[in-house]
Structures are given as C-alpha cells and as structure tokens.
Amino acid sequence: MTAPATAAVPTYEGGAVYMGTQSFLTVVNATIKNGTSYYGGGIYASNGTTVSVTDSFIDGNTATWGGGIFLKSFALNATKLKVTNCVFRWNSATVGTGGGALVEQRCVGEFYRSTFIANKVRRLYWLNWSLQ
C-alpha cells in the first residue's frame, strides 16, 4: 500500500487512511507517505478500530495533531494499534503533539522494534504515560 496524498485541501481525519468505528486494518510491507490532515496525516483510527502495521514506513505525513498516526476513542471500546518493525520518519504535528504517533486516552498503542527519526511536534505533553 502506497498512499500519496495529492489533494490540494487537507482532509479533516486521515490524510492517507481513515478507519472509522469498529473496523479493522492490516498494513504489511507498505509506505504511507505525504498524507495531510487535521487529525492523523498518515492514518486516523477511532472508536474500537484495530490497526496492525508491520514492516512499513510512515513517512512525511503532516497533521495538526498526530502527523504519522492518530488514535482516538470516544466510547468505551478501545482503539488498538500494534506497530512492528516500522520506521516513522519526517512526520509532523504542526500545532499539537504526536509527530510520529499520537495515542489518546482509552486507546492502546503497542510499538515493537520500530524507529522514530526526525519527527516534529509543536508542543510536548506528558500525561499519564506508562511505558513497559
């Protein structure tokens, strides 16, 4: 999957990939590149969605919040993300946090053997972080 964003006007959620309520996405050996959005320039997932990204590049995406990936959950169903052996490079959050990835409350983000290189944020918040 290669998803270059070519639209002149950014989308509101998910510049390259949008995943709505209780859906499933598996990305393997792909590049998600140059997406532009308000939330989640590369991937936006919400409300009980499960996303798995393996052996992939999240590259050069831009959003106000969550440049590479943005996870949100309004309901009790947790949005889940599992990232394995991926590279997050040159993504940016122009106003908020999450240059590479932003995982909000009631969401679960797991990152294994992945690399974050030169991602940019405007602000940095540390709220209830627990890394294991």
Q: Dump pLDDT digits (tens) for 28-59.
A: 999 999 999 999 999 999 999 999 999 999 99
Question: Which pLDDT value is given to residue 112?
Answer: 96
Predicted TM-score (pTM) of this structure: 0.85
Cβ neighbours around 58 below 10 Å, total: 31
5 pLDDT above the threshold of 50: no
Kindly list the domain boundaries of the chain, sorted by start residue. Answer: 11-119
- DSSP letters of 4-64? ----SS-EEE-SSEEE-TT-EEEEES-EEES-EEEE-SSEEEESS-EEEEES-EEES-EEE
6 pLDDT above the threshold of 70: no
Question: What are the residues facing 103 on neighbouring strands?
Answer: 71
Q: Which residue has the tokens 């908020």?
A: 96
Backbone angles phi, psi at 106, to 5 degrees: 65, 15
Report how far residue 116's alpha carbon sits from residue 125's, in angstroms, rounded to the nearest whole number: 18
7 pLDDT above the threshold of 80: no
Could you tell me how far CA 29 lies from the centroid of its own chain?
Answer: 16
1 pLDDT above the threshold of 80: no
- Of the chain, the percentage scoring pLDDT greater than 70 comes to 85
Question: Which pLDDT value is given to residue 97?
Answer: 86
Per-range mean pLDDT, top range of 11-15, 74-78, 112-116:
112-116
Report how far residue 118's alpha carbon sits from residue 99's, in angstroms, rounded to the nearest whole number: 9
**Which residues have C-beta within 8 Å of that of residue 107, sequence separation ≥ 6?**
71, 72, 73, 78, 79, 80, 81
Task: Please tell me what DSSP assigns to residue 2.
Answer: B
